[in-house]
């Protein structure tokens, strides 16, 4: 059970240095239960490094990344079965079929009703036509649907998504967003979403954390940020932040 009053995702003075490079430089933010927060920033801002520390895949130089109360650098095994992630940069074993891959991940996450769960996801995410094909022989869009199925296999309470719609056609991307919205609503899941797609951020995110050079340069609800910067869209806000323009300053 989640502790009362503790955000499912909580990052405190988190930092990661690689030699002289500060990939993440002492950031703090939290994601309230059952909400979606977008992690935004240009290339090299520190988003993937932050998510990797939240997954416990990279050890912070200092500070803490907690999920469901567990310090992910030291206590991740307490909560791994309750969380999951999706990234287009993580490939599944290509020779295994989609079904075999989902079985491997399902076992890793300790899913009790695995056969039923795979069947359920195959229906919901339209995987049936290629469930018994090698994962390496799928199109990018099909691979993304499989990656989404993998990330939902254990019905996670917390989902970390690193550009879940990167390199998808607009139709498939819209389809993925609709699924994520539905999953969040039905499961009450807490989601952190790194994205370069501003319409996606406006549609899915309750809150946004904007990073640049490893630090947080602004945060708030998309509508709040748009009005604070005197802009029409998050795309405009993003460009203002990326180009170092102050709120309300003319382009
Ligand atoms: N293993 C590493 N060794 C050295 N520097 C690294 C390493 N990983 C990341 N960095 C550096 O840390 C900074 C942040 O990288 P990160 O991948 O977190 O950014 P990002 O916001 O996810 O960028 P993108 O949008 O391009 O994916 C960059 O300057 C990057 O070059």
Assess if residue 3 is contained within a domain: no
Residue with tokens 């502790």: 3
> Ligand 1: which of 14, 22, 24, 49 to mutate, judged by most atoms within 8 Å of the beta carbon?
49
Full domain range(s) for residue 13? 9-242
Reported as a pLDDT band with limits 50, 70 and 90, residue 88 is: low
Q: State the complex-level ipTM.
A: 0.96
Percent of the chain with pLDDT over 90: 75
51 lines ligand 1 (CB under 6 A): no
47 lines ligand 1 (CB under 6 A): yes
**99, HSE (Cβ side, Cα atoms, 13 Å):** 11
Tell me which residue has its CA closest to atom 17 in ligand 1: 48
Assess if residue 247 is contained within a domain: no
Assess if residue 13 is contained within a domain: yes
Secondary element (H or E) of residue 23: strand 21-31
Tell me which residue has its CA closest to atom 18 in ligand 1: 46
Q: Return the structure tokens found at 73.
A: 């650098």
Does the pLDDT at position 132 exceed 50?
yes
Of 1-15, 23-37, 207-221, the poorest mean pLDDT is in: 1-15
Q: How far is Cα 90 from Cα 93, in angstroms, rounded to an integer?
A: 10
23 lines ligand 1 (CB under 6 A): yes
Angle at 181 between CA 76 and CA 161, to 5 degrees: 35
Does the pLDDT at position 31 exceed 70?
yes
182 lines ligand 1 (CB under 6 A): no
Tell me which residue has its CA closest to atom 1 in ligand 1: 18
Counted domains in the chain = 1
Assess if residue 86 is contained within a domain: yes
Check which CATH number belongs to the domain holding 113 and give it.
3.40.50.300
Q: How far is Cα 52 from Cα 62, in angstroms, rounded to an integer?
A: 14
Does the pLDDT at position 188 exceed 50?
yes
Reported as a pLDDT band with limits 50, 70 and 90, residue 124 is: confident
Assess if residue 248 is contained within a domain: no
Specify the DSSP class assigned to residue 60: -
Reported as a pLDDT band with limits 50, 70 and 90, residue 249 is: low
Q: How far is Cα 155 from Cα 134, in angstroms, rounded to an integer?
A: 24
């Amino acid at each position: 059970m989640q502790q009362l009053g503790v955000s499912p995702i909580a990052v405190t003075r988190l930092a990661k240095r690689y030699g002289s490079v500060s990939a993440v430089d002492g950031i703090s933010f939290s994601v309230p239960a059952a909400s979606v927060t977008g992690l935004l920033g240009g290339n090299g801002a520190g988003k993937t490094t932050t998510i990797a520390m939240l997954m416990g895949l990279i050890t912070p130089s200092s500070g803490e990344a907690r999920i469901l109360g567990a310090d992910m650098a030291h206590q991740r095994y307490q909560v791994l079965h309750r969380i999951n992630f999706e990234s287009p940069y993580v490939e599944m074993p290509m020779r295994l079929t989609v079904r075999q891959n989902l079985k491997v991940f399902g076992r890793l996450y300790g899913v009790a009703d695995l056969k039923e769960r795979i069947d359920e996801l195959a229906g919901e995410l339209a995987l049936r036509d290629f469930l018994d094909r090698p994962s390496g022989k799928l199109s990018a869009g099909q691979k993304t649907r499989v990656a989404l199925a993998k990330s939902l296999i254990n019905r996670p309470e917390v989902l970390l998504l690193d550009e879940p719609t990167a390199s998808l056609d607009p139709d498939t991307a819209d389809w993925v967003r609709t699924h994520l919205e539905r999953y969040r609503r039905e499961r009450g899941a807490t989601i952190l979403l790194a994205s370069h797609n501003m319409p996606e951020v406006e549609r899915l995110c309750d809150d946004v954390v904007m990073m640049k050079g490893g630090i947080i340069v602004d945060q708030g609800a998309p509508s709040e940020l748009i009005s604070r910067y005197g802009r029409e869209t998050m795309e405009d806000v993003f460009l203002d932040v990326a180009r170092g323009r102050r709120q309300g300053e003319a382009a």
